[in-house]
Structure 1
Amino acid sequence: MAIKPKGTVPFGPYRTWYQVTGDLQSEQPALVVVHGGPGSTHDYLKNLTQLAEHTGPVVLYDQLGNGGSTHLPDKGPDFWTPDLFADELDNLLKQLGIDDYVLFGQSWGGLLVTKFAAGRPAGLRGLVIANAPASYPLWLEEAKRLRADLPPGVNETLLRHEAAGTTDSDEYHHAMRPFYEKHVCRLKPWPRDYLASFYEVYNDPTVYYAMNGPSEFHVNGTLKDWSVTDYCPQVEVPTLLISGRYDEATPATVQPFQDLIPGDVRWEIFEESSHLPHLEEPELFQQVMRDFLGSLADGTAGGARTKETVGHGRH
């Protein structure tokens, strides 16, 4: 059966929305892009489709509960689990007939693809973990430190509303902005694609609120104690780590991936970026991705364990 460039596939009684750029029959592995959140959408990662001009096909999708996939606002926290989203990813690959692929996971998606890769699926050729912490307890430790460095009074306002349970107030949302502008997206104004995903989260916050919480830095949902450090040693494919110098996913949160994933692990730090290097430094990002995907295609990936600062040499 021919796969349409855009559509939905069944996932049990639900539907998962997807978009394919390029030819899934290509000899090059597909790049399957797993977005963050949980509870965001593919929109902010749209420019990854440009890679299809130089490498294999690129597949974007919306995880269950958001975007073009089935929305389930009445489902409680017990329904929304990492296992559910890993099963959805596995189902998508099968439904689209993808048996040779690289996974790209951004933010929460980075933890999800690590869990998935630990199962050693036969068709997985490489892994990109972008702007992701290896554990949410680490994430929260670092968020506390980053919050303390915000302009005077901002963190106090945030803490007051978090203690009072009034994180849905306009004052809390206004106080969130300095953190987001410094550690999530440094571009001004925020790009349209990022705004599209940002608004989608709050148009239906079911998943985000259940698993994460009211903001990037106040994780009080079901993921607050979750970690993928135990999965890292089971990852058997070449891995690219990506983070930004100003990223909310600080080096301390990324370090366990480099320490615990065996074999070929390369870490690129984008000097002018925070949480979205693909938008903040798109040309450098595209080149880094093309180099990594090219190394998988020509067989040169393997054996290296390096940490690099993009555009400023190695250290």
Structure 2
Amino acid sequence: MASGSPYPTLQPTKQGTIPFLIPGAGKECFTFYKIFGHLTATNKTPCVLVHGGPGLAHDYMLSYLPLFEKFGIPLVLYDQMGNGLSTHLPEKKGDEDFWTEELFHLELSNLMSALGLDESGYDLVGHSWGGMMGSTFAAKNPKGLRKLVLSNAPATMQSWIDAYNLYRSQLPQELQDALKRCEDSGTEQGDEYQGIMMNEFYKRHMMSLTPWPEEFLKAFEWAGKDDTVTSTMMGLSEFKVAGSTANWSAAEAVDKITVPTLVINGKDEGASDESIRPFVEGIKGAKWVKFEKSAHMPVYEERERYFDVLNDFLEGK
């Protein structure tokens, strides 16, 4: 892992690519994955880590390595299609019929089948978008899924946007005015707008640590190199719904989730208490843990407690 990371460097036990046939892709596609530990030669259920975005990469999920090094849980990390070291399809930018949640469900199913986890069993931890997509995946009762963790994931896209607009209204007025001025002039990607977002907004509502861990920044760099997935699925504004996930909601599917589920959120983040309510109230027996000293990234902000909570849930304590 990169220097400055909260956890030491560890090489994967195995890494590679899995073919993924996508009708309409126009080319052969592959999903990149990493495995830490052994998936079968253990009495521990492997844990599959699903990164956020849409449009980021697995790099920041390396922050979950304590599950393996401290607790002995085998881990599977992967880059979702169009991201990181998996196949990129920039020619599909803007194609909302191609970039759908279902594509990522199919990719995850394909990966589980290729690794044999649909037969031997696995737990799934989804962070942010990974939890959103993971919730509706779990509602399909996929073969092999044992437990589900929805970490910092809203149950609807609109509730995330509503939370972010509320937090924006709480910024000092001069910062609100500057954001509006940049939006009106179409300079959201400029230094002033991005500076306010990075130095003021995200420090309050994404992650309070300074500087951000290098592997977290690297995950975002992938989206900067190729914004096909991000721009097509949710647009480039934090404050407006757009793209193929504009009307996304898991609220109607939560009662179909039958596996034990842990719901996690932080304070003053996009996955607000209101936005996770459908998960907490709609999934039978769901357990909710809130991290009051964290925003969107308790995996970094309250690291020791976060992993104790995860391990206790995954190990059935």
Distance change (3 Å), C-alpha of 1:219 and 1:55: farther
Alignment match of 2:34 (pick from 5, 9, 19): 19
CA distance in 1, matches of 2:38, 2:157: 37
CA distance in 1, matches of 2:85, 2:162: 34
CA drift at 1:243? 0.8
**3-state SS of paired residue (1:114):** helix
CA drift at 1:55? 4.0
Distance change (3 Å), C-alpha of 1:4 and 1:46: closer
Which one is further off, 182-191 or 152-161?
152-161
C-alpha deviations, 1:130-171, integer Å up to 9, x for none? Answer: 001100111122211111011222223323333444323332
**3-state SS of paired residue (1:273):** coil
Alignment match of 2:14 (pick from 5, 9, 19): 5
1:284 and 2:301 matched: no
1:36 and 2:52 matched: yes
Alignment match of 1:96 (pick from 102, 115, 118): 115
| Counterpart in the other structure of 1:77 | 95
CA distance in 2, matches of 1:163, 1:238: 46
C-alpha deviations, 1:27-61, integer Å up to 9, x for none? Answer: 32211011100000111110212212314311110
CA distance in 1, matches of 2:150, 2:64: 14
Structure 1, unmatched stretches of 5+, are 301-315
The amino acid that maps onto 1:19 is: K
Do the aligned partners of 1:55 and 1:293 also contact (CA within 8 Å) in 2?
no
The amino acid that maps onto 1:209 is: S
C-alpha deviations, 1:54-106, integer Å up to 9, x for none? Answer: 14311110101111101111103321110001111101101111120111111
CA distance in 1, matches of 2:35, 2:126: 17
1:52 and 2:68 matched: yes
Do the aligned partners of 1:33 and 1:103 also contact (CA within 8 Å) in 2?
yes
Over aligned residue pairs, what C-alpha RMSD do you find? 1.7
| Counterpart in the other structure of 1:219 | 241
CA distance in 1, matches of 2:189, 2:279: 34
Alignment match of 2:105 (pick from 81, 86, 97): 86
C-alpha deviations, 1:253-307, integer Å up to 9, x for none? Answer: 1111111112x21111112111010011111111111101110xxxx6xxxxxxx
CA distance in 1, matches of 2:159, 2:33: 32
Which one is further off, 74-83 or 85-94?
74-83
CA distance in 2, matches of 1:129, 1:200: 23
CA distance in 2, matches of 1:93, 1:183: 33
The alignment's TM-score, normalised by the length of structure 1, stands at 0.89
Do the aligned partners of 1:127 and 1:239 also contact (CA within 8 Å) in 2?
yes
The count of aligned residue pairs is 293
Structure 2, unmatched stretches of 5+, are 1-11, 22-27
The amino acid that maps onto 1:27 is: N
**3-state SS of paired residue (2:269):** coil
| Counterpart in the other structure of 1:65 | 82
Which one is further off, 44-53 or 34-43?
44-53
The alignment's TM-score, normalised by the length of structure 2, stands at 0.88
